[in-house]
Amino acid sequence: MAIMYALKSSDNEIFEVEQKVIEQSETIKKMIEDGAATGEIPLQVSSKTLAKVLEWCKQRQHKTVENENDDNKGKRKKERDEDDDIKEWENKFSDELKADKDVLFDLLLASNYLDLPALLSFLCQLVADMVAGKMPEEIRRMFNIENDFTPEEEKAITAEHGWAFQP
């Protein structure tokens, strides 16, 4: 019988999750180890985002369980197939996120807050691919960053790295 934990989203929705799934979050794992995870675990994550987080965790959990059950015979072939399956699932997952940047950014914050290293680097790669070709102005708008350079400073820094602004 799997141990279940109740996670409470910031909008007070309860998610019942198996320990193995949620332990991927270093934050919650530490909490469970410390014996602090009694009752509902309140998280500053919206239910929409938390659902996405758990979708990811369940997929990862699924993969590790299957690998443990494998014997070595035909494992290579199976691994290749599984890798393809996971790639396909990840592509679908990232396509959904690319279509809705607000969810993507919320998920990025949540993966940092819950300390999910695999999800965090997956999302970072996704965001990095998205912004790699952008201009500083677009970056400021996208992430709400104030331009605190004086016009002279900005001119100097743009000139110093002029090559990086040209195709």
Partner 1 sequence: MTLHGLPMQICHVSQFVNHVVVSSTSSTASIINRDSHSVLISLSLSIFSLSFPSSYFHFLGFQSCCPLAVSISVYVLVGIMANLENQYLKEEMIDDDYVLVDFEDLPEKKSSARNSSQEVDFDNLPEKQGLVRNISGENIYDANPSSKKCAKFPWHIKLKEDISLSDVVKEHVLPFLPAKALCRFRAVSTEWNKWISGPFLCHKQTTNFKDISGLICQSPGSDPSFISFNQDAYGIPRPSLRFLPEHVSIRSTCNGLVCCQSCSLWYLYYICNPVTKKWKALPNSNLNHGPETAIALAFEPTTFNFAAHYELVCAVPVSLNDISVVYFEIYSSRSNTWRIADTVCSEMDALKPDNSGFYMKGVVYWKTLFGVVLAFDLKNEQYGILRLPASSGLDGAFTQMHGELCYMLPQTEDGECLITVYGNLDMSLKYVIPLKPEIVGATVSDCQVLTCVNDDILIILLRSKVIAYHVKAQKVELLSQVRPEGFGNCLPYINTLVPVEK
**Region near partner 1 per CB under 8 A, out of 50-58, 64-72, 89-97, 115-123:** 115-123
Asked whether 111 and 55 are in contact (CB, 8 A), the reply is: no
* Cα separation, 3 vs 17, whole angstroms: 8
Is residue 86 involved in binding partner 1 (CB under 8 A)? no
Helices (H), the chain: 19-22, 26-33, 47-69, 75-99, 101-113, 117-131, 136-143, 151-160
Among 19, 20, 27, 94, binds partner 1 (CB under 8 A): 27
Distance of CA 112 to the CA centre of its chain: 8
Is residue 125 involved in binding partner 1 (CB under 8 A)? yes
Is residue 41 involved in binding partner 1 (CB under 8 A)? yes
Which residue, 2 or 132, is less far from partner 1 as judged by CB? 132
DSSP state of 165: G
* Cα separation, 5 vs 89, whole angstroms: 26
Output the smallest distance, CB 105 to partner 1, in A: 5
Is residue 39 involved in binding partner 1 (CB under 8 A)? yes
Bridge partner residues of 17 (DSSP): 5
Is residue 167 involved in binding partner 1 (CB under 8 A)? yes
Is residue 54 involved in binding partner 1 (CB under 8 A)? no
DSSP state of 4: E
Asked whether 37 and 17 are in contact (CB, 8 A), the reply is: no
Is residue 118 involved in binding partner 1 (CB under 8 A)? no
Sites of contact with partner 1 (CB under 8 A): 8, 27, 30-31, 34, 36-42, 44, 83, 105, 108-109, 112-113, 115, 120-121, 124-125, 127-128, 131-136, 139-140, 143-149, 153-154, 157-158, 161, 163-165, 167
